[in-house]
Structure 1
Amino acid sequence: MYEVHPLVFGKNTHQGEQNRTLVSQLEKFLRLDLSDIGSDNCGTEGARILEEAMCRGTRRRGKKRWCIKDPRLSHFLDACSTAFPDAHFIIIIRDPRAVCRSYLSKKGFTVGRPANWIAAAERWEGEVRMQLQFLYRNQGRATLVIYEELLQDFESQLRRVCDAIGIQLEPQMLNYFQRDTEINIHEGNKNIFKPPDLELANKWRSELSEKQIRTVESVTARTMETLGFERLFEWRELHQAQKWLSRIHDRVMRELRWQRHKLQQPRKEKGVA
């Protein structure tokens, strides 16, 4: 039955093994001892393990509610909605040109990222369409936030989010960048200690070439228009052959990156540079 059960972390064909893996990941993430949940015989679904772990983490920090922020949840929105019927979803959508610039940056962990501009734009298009469809089906349980609008009018947009989830806007939320965090800092999130800055979000305007911008806009034009993102260039349809070649290139390059990553893991574990 677990082959068809929609869980946040995908289908579960070997419950005991999957539960142990999930518990191990949550222990590392939350810095908690969770050895008493998710045993082979407990029959606990992944969503319930997640809920119990997050509730424990919430109580430990003296808080009352919990949330998860992860772009990968775009692929599991319906499963999350079913597993957590009282949850409210905040869907944050960013300009595709900025997202594609981030995807194709050589900084940080590149495994799993798109390998070319067409593939990057198609990934944004596919994920955003899933998000918009979910928003349409769950208008009372989901709120759309445009990332650039959040940066431009931070307090107003943050207040709208707080109203949607039923909490008060606290003054320290506006100065989040001045407070300590448990988040592991890396290249992709190093700006969390800086105030909201629209110029950082718009770096694509000076860093992308006209060809790169045209490519992204060609793939995402209709969805951009729906969301109010202004195109810089007139729409041009890409040749089907370009799309096919880009998909082949993307699939090959991502597989090569993954294989290289797997080969490097044993060396890192042994301390080999």
Structure 2
Amino acid sequence: MSAVPDLPLNNAVRIPQLGFGTFQIPPEETREATLTALEVGYRHIDTAEMYGNEKEVGQAVRDSGLDRADVFVTSKLDNGAHARDDALRAFDRTAADLDIGHLDLFLIHWPLPGRGDFVETWKALEEIYRSGRVKAIGVSNFQPHHLRRLLESSDVVPAVNQIEVHPYLTQDEVRAFGAEHGIATEAWSPIAQGKVLDDPTVNRIADRLGRTAAQVTLRWHLQRGDIVFPKSVTRKRVEENFDLFGFELTEGDMGEISALDRGERTGPDPDSFQG
């Protein structure tokens, strides 16, 4: 299997384009699942305080025997901690639970515009960033109008925006805004909670290439430039999801998959979600 490419973020920190997600993995299964991913070759792990499994992710990173500098770890601020002091305390909890030294990327998990001012929250993340305890900061589930407010009100441009992206929700507007301002797009729910795996177009392309529907969908993400971190607790699937670099989709394949867009979310709408 070929090496995973690293992409430069807007502060020159490099992030592996393919990672391993831990959303909805129970804490008691997280250490083993994360260790399996690291054994397979993943060097980018995505977690969050909300997932309840930061301790187990940290344990896996420590137990892997890998150099800390070789593993990129992301976590996210809990929705109940948007006030400045709460955010600073929440980061301290995350750092203590992970127990891996520095954090590579820390995100505001949701904008929650009805619950407070996310600009205040962002300024707390800027403080943490300037302290050197995290290498990059970013946001998750932010729409262009949320991002514009941040850009107008703060000094640090988010390194990434982690949003729901898949063939049924291509997010062209949000991705274009990010590209224009140097904000990388990370795609969560990259196979639409499994919905695209039954799609006739995706399966026709997969059959032609001798690949799975999941591999074709994840490859579509990579060729678009998205950073992606599929989740599985099954070693065979973890290996399949990593095996994305021995084939390419044609321009026609890419267009056909992108044309499946129907604006369909599997998760909440960031403009209405209040945590």
TM-score range, shorter chain: under 0.3
Question: Which is strand-richer, 1 or 2?
Answer: 2
**Greater Rg by CA:** 1
